[in-house]
Amino acid sequence: MAMGYLSRLPSGAWVLLKEVARHVLRRPVVGVAMVAIRQDGCVLVIRRADFGTWALPGGTLEWGETLRTAVERELREEAGAKLEAIESVSGVYSRPDRDPRFHAVTIVVRCKVSDAIEGPMNVAEILEARWRRPEELKGTLALAQDELLEQALGSGAATIE
Question: Domain ranges in the chain?
Answer: 28-160
Residue 100 has what pLDDT? 86
Fold of 28-160: Nucleoside Triphosphate Pyrophosphohydrolase (3.90.79)
Residue 99 has what pLDDT? 87
Average pLDDT, the chain: 90
Q: What percent of the chain has pLDDT over 70?
A: 84
Is the pLDDT confidence value at 155 over 80? Answer: no
Residue 113 has what pLDDT? 97
Is the pLDDT confidence value at 1 over 80? Answer: no
Residue 26 has what pLDDT? 81
d(CA 87, CA 79): 19
CA nearest neighbour of 81 among 49, 51, 42, 107: 42
Residue 9 has what pLDDT? 61
Please list, in sequence order, all residues whose beta carbon lies within 8 angstroms of the beta carbon of residue 78, skipping any fewer than 6 positions away.
46, 57, 58, 59, 120, 121, 125, 126, 129
Is the pLDDT confidence value at 88 over 50? Answer: yes
Q: What is the pLDDT of residues 117-140, one digit of tens each?
A: 999 999 999 999 999 999 999 999
| CA-derived radius of gyration, the chain | 19
Q: What is the pLDDT of residues 21-75, one digit of tens each?
A: 666 678 899 999 999 999 999 999 999 999 899 999 999 999 999 999 999 999 9
